[in-house]
């Protein structure tokens, strides 16, 4: 891939990561699923999902459960594999307001491990694995990044 196309691909993927988070915060699951390929495979909290419809079925009740949310994406690392595929790791810090009172707010910090495909619509997530780094309240059952411990 020539250097200019590579820079464009990295920029397009970065923008799509941010767009997916923005649409989650706006409670727009119909638009958010368009950030994924039709045949996407995703794993959130150890639950495997196959296809946009399955992701949509997960998003609708989750997004409607919250009064507000904020998904911050950072530390984006992208590897362009070839003309039509890429991989990325990005950090996500997601805060969810459960009730107007603030009681029961939930926060999770983790990583998205994504694979990307270049489609006619542009770069889309074809595989996503969400791994946690920490949550408040804690989610010890959630798949983690397998941080090395000091020996």
pLDDT digits (tens, 9 = 90+) for 11-69: 999 999 999 999 999 999 999 999 999 999 999 988 899 999 999 999 999 888 889 99
pTM of the model as a whole = 0.92
Let me know if 108 is exposed, middle or buried by CB neighbors in 10 A (0-12, 13-18, 19+). Answer: buried
> From 1.20.1440.130, 3.40.50.10420, 3.10.450.50, 3.40.250.10, which CATH number describes the 3-136 domain?
3.10.450.50
Assess whether pLDDT exceeds 90 at residue 116: yes
Assess whether pLDDT exceeds 90 at residue 149: no
* Phi–psi pair at 103, nearest 5 degrees: -70, 130
Listed residue (72, 144, 142, 147) closest to 113, CA to CA: 144
Interval 82-110: pLDDT, tens: 999 999 999 999 999 988 887 788 999 99
The domains of the chain are located at 3-136
In angstroms, rounded to a whole number, what is the distance separating the alpha carbons of residues 128 and 42? 5
């Amino acid at each position: 891939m020539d250097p200019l196309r590579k820079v464009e691909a990295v920029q397009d993927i970065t923008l799509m990561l941010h767009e997916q988070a923005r649409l989650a915060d706006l409670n727009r699951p119909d638009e958010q699923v368009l950030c994924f390929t039709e045949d996407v495979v995703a794993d959130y909290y150890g639950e495997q999902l196959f296809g946009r419809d399955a992701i949509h079925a997960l998003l609708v009740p989750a997004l409607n459960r919250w009064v507000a949310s904020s998904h911050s994406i950072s530390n984006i690392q992208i590897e362009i594999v070839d003309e039509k595929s890429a991989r990325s790791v990005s950090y996500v810090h997601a805060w969810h307001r459960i009730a107007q009172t603030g009681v029961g707010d939930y926060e999770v910090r983790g990583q998205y491990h994504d694979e990307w495909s270049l489609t006619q619509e542009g770069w889309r997530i074809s595989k996503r694995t969400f791994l946690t780094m920490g949550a408040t309240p804690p989610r010890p059952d959630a798949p983690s990044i397998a941080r090395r411990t000091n020996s």
